Structure 1
Amino acid sequence: MAVAEDNAPSEGRAPSPFWTIARRDSLAGFLFIAPQLVGIVTFVLIPLGLVFWYSLHEWNVLAGTFTYTGTQNYRMLVEDGSLVEVLGTTAVFSAGLVIFNMSLALLLAVLLNQKLAGITVFRTLFFSPVVVSLVAWTIVWGFLLQKNGGINGVLQVFGIEGPNWLRGEVTAMISVIAVQVFKNVGLNMVLFLAALQGVPNELYEAARIDGAPRFKQFRRITLPLISPTILLTSIITIVGSLQVFAQIAVLTQGGPGLSTTVLVYYLYQQAFQFHFFGYGSTLSILLFVIVAVLTFAQWQMRKRIVFHEN
């Protein structure tokens, strides 16, 4: 009886209001993330589910048929002889793009981090390709890389006979990598520049007093402290390299042969040129898995490469 009396509400005590401060804060948080959440569901999760559904069918747009085929498209994926070469080309393109993009971006950021007169002009100059139209940028480079284009014209001044850059298997790959590197290197440069400006000068002063050379300062101080930015830019660059399409479509159309046919362009060919929409959807699933695995692997590596990461 005493326990019942203790648990009974005290007489005269006002009931707790429903909209407490904690609930109001939670509601405000949900309202702030609601637009992003709706966008993710509408433009990411639902399309991803539809792509998986299409991969189990063969959709003939011209005949108006939509036939369930089960795992047939996935068996075609395993038996596709061209896919191995396409994946190899994609790996070469992504590796070259990531290495040259990040190396050049870090080098430019270090050089532009100096306190010199007019340095802002050079920062703007190197960042300007990022805001230029991608198609316009690629078309201009397409003219420059032709047999009688501007690049070979410059080489002829020094007595060098330049190749037809977009018609050789090796030179075509080098060309599309270079075009993409010069287009987006400014974005990573800005991120690295912001990270470099956040490194305390006191650490460099202490290192100079101890007699540490510049390269050792860079390796022991700069790289560890900007490692979070290095992780971020590597994820952005790798994912972006796997989604490159316009440059390939405008410059080489995947040729010569399959030498520049990356996975995204191969997907486009299967779905929109050959009208194998079911198989194209299966290739989309493969691309999604590759991006997810690489991103997860990089995120797991942060414990080793990011300074002070637990």
Structure 2
Amino acid sequence: MLLDSTKAKSDSGFSRLLDREAIAAWIFLAPALILLSVFVIYPIAYLCYLSFTTGSFTRAGVRWIGLRNYWRLLLSPDFWQVIGNTVYFTIATLIPSLIIPLGLAVLLNQSIKFRGLLRAAYFIPSITSLVAVGLGFRWLFQTDGVINQWLSAINIPAIPWLQSTVWAMPVLILLSVWKQIGFNMVVFLAGLQTIPISRYEAAELDGANSWQKFRYVTLPGLKPTIVFVTVTTAIFTLRSFEQVYVITGGGPMNSTNLLVYFIYDQAFAQFDFGYAAAAATILLLIALLLVYWQLRTTED
């Protein structure tokens, strides 16, 4: 009986301790949970709600219409053109934004002159204002801009870069790649630091050349980093807005209209907030799928 009583008191004391720890944990978590609820959970929930309504802030309230906004998106040729533009822009930006920074990171991971200066120089574009960079690219690629002046100097006819349905998108892609290279290079450099030197030494003992060491040591060691860079770059390109707004405005003939700019135009130019919310919800689902793929890949 005495042992049972002692055990019961011990269990009771342990339970009180756990309760106090739980209360303390909730107290410390409360500010973060409140901020998360106000700035993340509530906006996402309200976005999903708006996607099932019609009306705008300039009209008398909103009205529930179910899935009509999503049905309109599926039947809209303009929306599918925007999706095609976004897929083209994302893939064309993603590939060089992986290959070029990876090559630079491998090069700048070696003992070469001015390595620190070169690292800083390549990183600077990633911290510059995208609006300012967009204005600079617009000045460079306008019809009487610097690029066409250089082309004229070597007897190449001027190209209407920003007025062409063929050439306007490559200008946006070039800007986005240039903007993303520095950040991705730094991430790859950090990933290279995690690969043990002993692996390269073992490869050298086996007679591996530089390409074989890169293929069989560097790339496998960088797998989590490559997945992370792929996802972050894809999300960066999916949310591209400033360069479209500043340089092309979605033109010419809707050829550079990307998904985020389409959402902005529907919401704040057409004042069709429900329709814009439906498109934004699709964008959110795409981003969540990318994050889910990253988590599954890194777990494997």
Is the shorter-chain TM-score for this pair beyond 0.5, marking a shared fold?
A: yes
Q: CA RMSD in A?
A: 2.4
Displacement of 1:29 after TM fit? 5.1
| Cα distance change of structure 1 residues 145 and 32 upon mapping to structure 2, 3 Å threshold | farther
> Match of 2:274?
278
Q: 2:227 aligns with which of 231, 242, 247?
A: 231
Moved more, 199-208 or 251-260: 199-208
Q: Name 1:292's counterpart in structure 2.
A: 288
* Matched residue, 1:147: 143
> Structure 2 counterpart of 1:175, which letter?
V
Per the alignment, residue 69 of structure 1 pairs with: 65
Q: Report the alpha carbon displacement of residue 26 of structure 1 after superposing the two structures with TM.
A: 5.3
Matching residue of 2:119: 123
Q: Distance in 2 between matches of 1:264 and 1:113?
A: 36
* SS of aligned partner of 2:214: helix
CA distance, structure 1, for counterparts of residue 79 and residue 6 of structure 2: 74
Q: After superposition, give the CA deviation of every residue in 1:140-172 in whole Å (9 maximum; x if it has no partner).
A: 111111112122233333333341221212211
Please give the alpha-carbon distance, in whole angstroms, between the structure 2 residues aligned to 1:271 and 1:10.
67
Distance 1:243 1:115, change over 3 A: same
Decide whether aligned partners of structure 1 residues 146 and 299 sit closer, same or farther in structure 2, where only a CA change above 3 A counts. same
Report the counterpart of residue 245 of structure 2 in structure 1. 249
d(CA) in 2 for partners of 1:156, 1:32? 65
1:110 aligned to which of 103, 106, 111: 106
Counterpart of 1:94 (choices 83, 86, 90) is 90
Equivalent-residue separation in structure 1 for 2:224 and 2:28 (angstroms): 27
Q: Read off the aligned partner of 1:233 and give its amino acid letter.
A: V
Shift of 1:296: 2.0
Which residue does 2:55 correspond to in 1? 59
Report the CA distance between 1:99 and its aligned residue.
0.8
Q: Is the 8 A contact 2:228 2:294 kept in 1?
A: no
Comparing 168-177 and 147-156, the one that deviates more: 147-156
Q: Distance in 1 between matches of 2:54 and 2:16?
A: 53
What secondary structure sits across from 1:170 in the alignment?
coil
Distance (whole Å) between structure 1 residues aligned to residue 147 and residue 29 of structure 2 = 49
CA distance in 2, matches of 1:230, 1:187: 13
Number of matched pairs: 299
1:226, distance to aligned residue in structure 2 (A): 1.2
Q: Write out aligned runs for 1:1-310 (5 A).
A: 5=1, 8-10=4-6, 16=13, 20=17, 30=26, 33-300=29-296, 302=297, 310=300
TM-score by length of 1: 0.88
* Percent of residue pairs identical: 34
Q: What SS does the corresponding residue of 1:288 show, helix, strand or coil?
A: helix
Gap regions ≥5 residues in structure 1:
none
Indicate the SS of the match to 2:58: coil
- What letter is aligned with 2:13? S
Residues 167 and 218 (structure 1), Cα distance of their counterparts in 2 relative to 1, 3 Å cut:
same
Quick one: distance in 1 between partners of 2:160 and 2:14? 76
- Counterparts of 2:35 and 2:102, CA distance in 1: 33
TM-score (normalizing by structure 2): 0.91
Does 288-297 or 135-144 show the bigger shift? 288-297
Single out whichever of 269-278 and 196-205 deviates more from structure 2.
196-205
Gaps of 5+ in 2: none
Whether the aligned pair in 1 keeps the contact of 2:55 and 2:274 (CA below 8 Å) is yes
